[in-house]
Structure 1
């Protein structure tokens, strides 16, 4: 098998990203054992950078390390999912309130442009997923708290492990879009409480759909 040509950044980071995407695409299923020897041979690397990559993914919650058994793709229980949604609702609702209170015209224009992309992607589920995440992360960036941003980024990675993603439920994309419209209206109005409430409802409805 031909070894991959990896980017000049740290080898373990490149391997971590490759495995991360395989996990998100379900090429590595939740609960699956990660065969380190086979992967190292496939990638044409030693097991050292592979193990460093697995440590990164374990820190993100995507991989679970088991003593004397190796690495497994993390399985998300119903409680895990509720806990993740609970934290995301708190963190992102707080960010939405901050952005509503102090966003300038440039911030609002950027978020409105992303919302427009979301409106245009309603018939394309994969594109909707991608734009939806970009919108949420853009909102967090404008709230300007790097610790919250990192926490949400990691929690969203774990959320992607859910076998029954909320947006897969029939009609959920349209409901999610309507919730985004309400949120954008609150942001444009500078209404921090409405933005907070809107984001919390967005996650509550998402959790119900994911159950």
Structure 2
């Protein structure tokens, strides 16, 4: 029973962390969380321990649980890894044949555009990352998909945190990136698609340095 309660708390807290409802630097209290969820501290402690293992929070002795700030390098490393996997996927499709699930990609891109149109950045990022996952599935490499799954929620959290902290800056940039990739996929220009993936990472890196994240 305790395990299922801990799973419930874990899922609830993780969703709040991923959507930046709990911002980096916030201190969480086991007692307050137990009261919020209407449960004892034991499942709360179990859930927090799991989140700490995943790198979302850090336990501070006699102070509470700190929502972890992802470093700029950590975020850039994830973007670089994904760009490399996207480039590899383009090469793989070109060399081995097969192809991309164009209807699924188009559907996700349209949902991304709709989210952008209503200014819903969380939904925009959710659909953009789902687009990337569908794209990578064309590689037929389950290990790469596992890496993407491990990166997805932290990238979403980092993006929404940045969105909340810098409302004056331009966001929703992945619309243009994914639209360009969609054009190249339809054209069958996999060499340009590979380069577009690498260029997108270079642009992210440049913005990060310009914003002073390093």
The verdict on a shared fold, with TM-score over 0.5 as the criterion, is yes
Structure 2 distance, partners of 1:68, 1:97, is 52
| Structure 2: gaps of 5 or more residues | none
Structure 1 distance, partners of 2:93, 2:45, is 40
Cα-to-partner distance string for 1:38-69 (whole Å, 9 max, x where unaligned) = 10122122223222222332233212234565
What SS is found at the alignment partner of 2:58? strand
> Is the contact between residue 61 and residue 74 of structure 1 (CA under 8 Å) also seen in structure 2?
yes
Deviation at 1:29, TM superposition (A): 1.6
Deviation at 1:204, TM superposition (A): 2.7
Alignment of 1:51-62 (within 5 A): 51-62=45-56
> Is the contact between residue 117 and residue 131 of structure 1 (CA under 8 Å) also seen in structure 2?
yes
* Residue number in structure 2 paired with 1:133: 129
- Matched pairs, number: 202
Q: CA RMSD in A?
A: 3.1
Alignment of 1:42-191 (within 5 A): 42-66=36-60, 69-98=63-92, 102-104=97-99, 107-126=101-120, 127-162=123-158, 163-165=161-163, 170-173=169-172, 175-191=173-189
| Structure 1: gaps of 5 or more residues | 1-8
Give the alignment's TM-score, normalised by structure 2: 0.76
> Is the contact between residue 100 and residue 188 of structure 1 (CA under 8 Å) also seen in structure 2?
no
Cα-to-partner distance string for 1:7-38 (whole Å, 9 max, x where unaligned) = xx933222112101222333322022221121
> Is the contact between residue 85 and residue 136 of structure 2 (CA under 8 Å) also seen in structure 1?
no
What SS is found at the alignment partner of 1:71? strand
Distance 1:68 1:151, change over 3 A: farther
* Residue number in structure 2 paired with 1:5: none
Give the alignment's TM-score, normalised by structure 1: 0.77
